[in-house]
Amino acid sequence: MSVVQDLILQADNDLRYLTSGELRSIVEFLSGGQRRLQVVRVLSDNEKKIVNEAARQLFIRKPEYVSPGGNAYGQKQRAQCLRDFSWYLRLVTYGILAGSTETIQQIGLVGAREMYNSLGVPMQGMVESMRTLKGASLDLLNSEESALASPYFDFLIKNMQTPC
């Protein structure tokens, strides 16, 4: 959901009109639309570069992941790892566009822990992966754009660390 939808639904649930503060929030959200679109454009246009750099950083920090027996050892496992990087990057862009972490929560976190645990993928490895994804992404953004995108990566990282 977006900030606008969240505010409207909350007001409707409360059987009231939007408050002046809520209306200001909507105006602020809408006026930041071009900035959000620019950030999403940079991240989307550079997906492959970001994913490759994040993987490079991760495997330098954690070479055991690509060693025999590691979760990213072999062509198939590495490809699955990179696929997940792309998927989470896409989820972050959805959050940026909507101005909300709800999509990240519902699609990217609910059930993720159970899925990764069932596949034998350590959550701490996923957390480290998201840190490298964040770093590779923010390297392509200016400071204002980074400030806009960073909280969505932080939300993802924090909630991957938190037990369900």
Per-domain residue ranges of the chain = 1-31, 33-161
Q: Per-residue pLDDT for 111 more than 90?
A: no
Which of the pair, 120 or 78, is modelled with greater confidence? 78
Q: Please give the pLDDT value at position 32.
A: 94
Q: How far apart are CA 23 and CA 28, in angstroms?
A: 9
Sign (positive or negative) of CA dihedral 11, 16, 17, 22: negative
Q: How confident is the model at residue 1 (pLDDT cuts 50, 70, 90)?
A: low
**According to the annotation, is 71 in a ligand binding site?**
yes
Q: Each residue of 92-110: b (16+ CB within 10 Å) or e?
A: bbbbbebbbbbbbeebbbe
Left (φ > 0), alpha (ψ -120 to 50) or beta: where does 69 sit? left
Q: What mean pLDDT comes out for the span 93-110?
A: 91
**According to the annotation, is 164 in a ligand binding site?**
no
Q: How far is CA 10 from CA 14, 17, 29, 37, in A?
A: 6, 10, 16, 26
Quote the CATH superfamily of domain 33-161: Phycocyanins (1.10.490.20)
Size of the chain, expressed as the number of residues it contains = 164
